[in-house]
Structure 1
Amino acid sequence: MTIDHLRRNFLQKLVASAAVVPMLSSTNAFAQSDRPGTTDGRQGATLRVALMGLGSYAERVAEAMQSSKRARLTGLISGTPSKLQEWGTKFGVAEKHRYNYENFDRIKDDPDIDAVYIITPNTLHRDQAIRVARAGKHVICEKPMAVNAREGQDMVDACSEAGVKLLVGYRMHFEPKTLEVIRMRKAGDFGSIRFFQGLCGFRIGDPGQWRLDKALAGGGAMMDIGIYAINGARYMVGEEPVWVTAQETKTDPVKFKQGVDETIQFQLGFPSGAVASCLSTYQMNHLDRFFMTGEKGFAELLPATGYGPIEGRTHKGELTQPHVMHQTLQMDEMAGILLDGNTPVVPVDGAEGLKDLKIIDAIYAACATGRRQELRLG
């Protein structure tokens, strides 16, 4: 999707969000959206998903669902008519299940859509998620869930009031090698955790892309790539941080304008005394590493969050769990959460997303003030 299309969609959203959408009662919304999906020969009921925002990552998700055992692409939402036509033909989505940003509230009357996966620029997530919830459909939102904790709370509240579930696209929460490290930590293989390091970044290209536009991205590298280190520190250490300090570096103020962070180093403190040291950047390549050490051993994931395969080792040797396309695993597991009430090893719900947003808010505050920020994520 071009930057012109994204900016046009941003303006369309502002207009459309002014429309009054009747709030469904919690009972009716739950009855409509929590019913089992179709069974179409797959393993158990099938989650019927509409994708909102037909960019490159949405295409990856759409392709992944072709081999999914529990999820199927049944709807499309985009501000670009040609994409609706192209994707509808490619993925077999009938015209009656294709919507634009002005009329997608009509999905409330579409029985072939159980959930909407929002994969649009960050600043659009809040309003789009609220509209989806009011239409009685489950919400799956790409990370970051919103651009700050206040907007994230609005999303959590709207989904709760509508009786639908809110999930966040934390694909690493289902990745086999990541889950093995978590299993080992819970089993005590590392002993008391002492230190975590998360390095996340790449050198970003096109200066005109939406990720470098604060009006669409809501920030910079921290929103896009730094959130992996925040979330990773939490699920690797197995605790919630209680304080954060942070320092921002900007070497290219032309490319990284006011409000768009280039590089941030941040540190987290945990109740046990464990500490984390992390880096988020849009200006350096070869950064995708998690390292954790405890009293009895260590774990390293390198790469740690890329599309795969993830590689890793511990003091006991190499991690050998097989690679499966992350988005396929994610959609199968999310189908189990939404249709069967399954509980994942690491949460992917709105409460989980909200904790990361509170930390991001605190990181930005620490950069602005130079002072340590206390965290209360309970």
Structure 2
Amino acid sequence: MRNSRRDFIKSAGAATLLLSSAPAVFSGVFTSKYKEKLGVALVGLGYYSTDLLAPALQLTQYCELKGIVTGSPWKIPVWQKKYGIADKNVYNYETMHQIANNPDIDVIYIVLPTGLHSKYSIIAANAGKHVWCEKPMARTAAECEAIIAACNENKVRLSIGYRMQHEPNTRTIIEFAKQNAYGHISRVKAEAGYYDGRSDHWKQKKAMGGGAMYDMGVYPLNAARYATQMEPIAVIARHETNRPEIYYEVDETTYFTLEFPHGVVADCATSLGKGMNELRVDSSKGWYELIPFQAYSGIQGRTSDGKRLNESIANQQARQMDNDALAIMNKTNVIVPGEEGLRDLRIVEAVYKSASLGQRVTL
């Protein structure tokens, strides 16, 4: 009973291995006869759930924290005291399927290491609950397809936690591309990384879905796609490792170039060994950029014609979860469906293939 979440996840992990055309962005409008608020259960009580999602759920209008799933019994009384979670809404990984019988919980949010996303997303879908899954969606495209199939079979909604697509300055970048606001896009630069000083963490384990490309690489990858509103046709990539004693199973830094139709190129980079945080788009009639383009707050940028991109919101995660809750309530398209996560994972697999072979890979 005193096993740590890390120990559980290691053992479980070893055994288990389009943007919407017209998304409904948060407007504070609720038109459904559904519950006034959807009950959310967080699966995995690590840093992201503890420090970001649980506090954000206190700020949401259309959803609320109602349940938890954890492999660390010592965390249960702490969470119950802080958030008033009822005993009947507390589960572990072996009993999680019983949420099917709990009307308090409408949505199950998977906040586990990437290598466990598929297994527990499918359990959530089979329980008949809507599924929110953190990014990256899974370790492989096949796992993504399995999640989508389970959600379709159980007639539940699926959304992937790409919070940046809910962020207002990022939405402006997306609209620039849709409206061809600065002419023909020629080149994109997208980079996301930080220095991770830990030496024994699941992000350094291949079976758990560790590595820079999985952890941070989906930020520039997804950004290149939403900033161009196109799908890449080829990729060339390479890895770089400065700490081989730590990063011997997974990539510490990855550089990859995406080739899009019409000669558009995106130069991308990601790292767990160095800081980088920039999105820039060069077009025939000017340029625009966000620096930082991915952060929990403070997203800002500028354009070649003097516009400032600095609209702020109180909390990105709260905006994301309210948007997804409203989509469920109003039966509208989610901003980031499972198919979006699947597209990214197909490219991630091609990035690794290209780096391994040392050659260009077509998509």
TM-score (norm 2): 0.91
Aligned residue identity for 2:338: G
Question: How far off its partner does 1:37 sit?
Answer: 4.7
1:301 aligned residue (269, 272, 290): 290
| Conserved? CA contact 1:37–1:48, under 8 Å | no
Structure 1 runs of 4+ off > 3 angstroms? 12-15
| Conserved? CA contact 1:13–1:102, under 8 Å | no
1:327 aligned residue (308, 317, 323): 317
Unaligned runs of 5+ in 1: 18-34, 40-45
Identity, in percent, stands at 37
Q: Does 1:236 align with 2:224?
A: no
Aligned residue identity for 1:335: A
Question: How far off its partner does 1:366 sit?
Answer: 0.1
Aligned residue identity for 1:289: E
Q: What SS does the aligned partner of 1:50 have?
A: strand
Q: How does 1:70-109 map to 2 (within 5 A)?
A: 70-109=62-101
Structure 2 match to 1:366: 354
Report the number of matched residues: 345
| Conserved? CA contact 1:310–1:323, under 8 Å | no
Structure 1 match to 2:45: 54
Q: How does 1:240-255 map to 2 (within 5 A)?
A: 240-255=231-246
Question: How far off its partner does 1:3 sit?
Answer: 10
2:125 aligned residue (133, 148, 157): 133
Q: Deviations over 1:290-342 (max 9, x none)?
A: 00011112111000011111011112321132233110100110101122123
Structure 1 match to 2:345: 357
Paired with 1:289 and 1:166, the residues of 2 have a C-alpha distance of 29
1:197 aligned residue (189, 194, 219): 189
Paired with 1:336 and 1:366, the residues of 2 have a C-alpha distance of 40
After superposing the two structures, state which structure 1 stretch, 199-208 or 353-362, moved more.
Answer: 199-208
Paired with 2:70 and 2:191, the residues of 1 have a C-alpha distance of 34
Paired with 2:192 and 2:97, the residues of 1 have a C-alpha distance of 37
Paired with 2:303 and 2:34, the residues of 1 have a C-alpha distance of 41
Structure 2 match to 1:11: 11
Q: What SS does the aligned partner of 1:245 have?
A: strand
Q: What SS does the aligned partner of 2:145 have?
A: helix
CA change 1:12–1:102 in 2 (3 A) is: farther
Question: How far off its partner does 1:84 sit?
Answer: 1.7
Unaligned runs of 5+ in 2: 17-31
Q: What SS does the aligned partner of 1:358 have?
A: helix
After superposing the two structures, state which structure 1 stretch, 205-214 or 192-201, moved more.
Answer: 205-214
Paired with 1:131 and 1:351, the residues of 2 have a C-alpha distance of 19
Structure 1 match to 2:29: none
Structure 2 match to 1:21: none
CA change 1:252–1:14 in 2 (3 A) is: closer
Q: What SS does the aligned partner of 2:225 have?
A: helix
Aligned residue identity for 2:343: K
Q: Does 1:337 align with 2:327?
A: yes
Paired with 1:360 and 1:14, the residues of 2 have a C-alpha distance of 21
Question: How far off its partner does 1:14 sit?
Answer: 7.1
Q: Deviations over 1:270-299 (max 9, x none)?
A: 1122100001111112x1100001111211
Q: Deviations over 1:63-89 (max 9, x none)?
A: 011011111111110001111221122
Structure 2 match to 1:182: 174
Q: Deviations over 1:188-227 (max 9, x none)?
A: 22111111001111111111121112222x2301101011
| Conserved? CA contact 2:257–2:268, under 8 Å | yes
Considering Cα pairs closer than 8 Å and 6+ residues apart, tell me whether 1 or 2 has the greater RCO. 2
Paired with 1:112 and 1:133, the residues of 2 have a C-alpha distance of 16
Q: Deviations over 1:7-57 (max 9, x none)?
A: 323425778x8xxxxxxxxxxxxxxxxx96532xxxxxx121100000110
Aligned residue identity for 2:308: E
Aligned residue identity for 1:282: L
Paired with 1:167 and 1:6, the residues of 2 have a C-alpha distance of 26
Q: Does 1:278 align with 2:275?
A: no
Paired with 2:171 and 2:11, the residues of 1 have a C-alpha distance of 41
Paired with 1:284 and 1:9, the residues of 2 have a C-alpha distance of 27
Question: How far off its partner does 1:147 sit?
Answer: 0.5
Q: What SS does the aligned partner of 2:216 have?
A: helix
CA change 1:221–1:302 in 2 (3 A) is: same
Q: CA RMSD in A?
A: 1.8
Q: What SS does the aligned partner of 1:244 have?
A: strand
Paired with 1:5 and 1:331, the residues of 2 have a C-alpha distance of 25
